[in-house]
Amino acid sequence: MTHDVATITIWLFAVYLALGLAFALPFAVRWAGRLDPAAHRGTWGFRLLIVPGAALLWPVLAVRLARAR
């Protein structure tokens, strides 16, 4: 793997994570309750715990959220 390919891969991963974090915060606060009724009653501790998972799985959650509407 050349240096350029490694640099591009790291930048793509950083962009993916930045988009994931931008999605995960509003998802944890507002949108999680649309997918799961138990999440609607979740505490702030629960919401904090789902942020990392939502940031990594944001494409899947975005599709499920779009279908739920």
Return the closest-CA partner of residue 19 out of 57, 46, 68.
57
Looking at residue 61, its pLDDT comes to 96
CA dihedral of 45, 49, 52, 56, whole degrees rounded to 10: -130
Looking at residue 1, its pLDDT comes to 72
Over 90: is that where the pLDDT of 3 sits? Answer: yes
Condensed to tens digits (0 to 9), the pLDDT of residues 8-64 reads 999 999 999 999 999 999 999 999 999 998 898 999 999 999 999 999 999 999 999
Asked, for residue 60, whether it belongs to a domain, the answer is yes
Rounded distance between C-alpha atoms, residue 69 and residue 64, angstroms: 9
Q: Which domain holds residue 40?
A: 16-68
Q: How many CB atoms lie within 10 A of CB 47?
A: 18
How many distinct structural domains can be found in the chain? 1
Asked, for residue 2, whether it belongs to a domain, the answer is no
Looking at residue 51, its pLDDT comes to 97
**In sequence order, which ranges of 1-69 are alpha helices (DSSP H)?**
3-26, 32-35, 37-40, 44-56, 58-68
Asked, for residue 11, whether it belongs to a domain, the answer is no
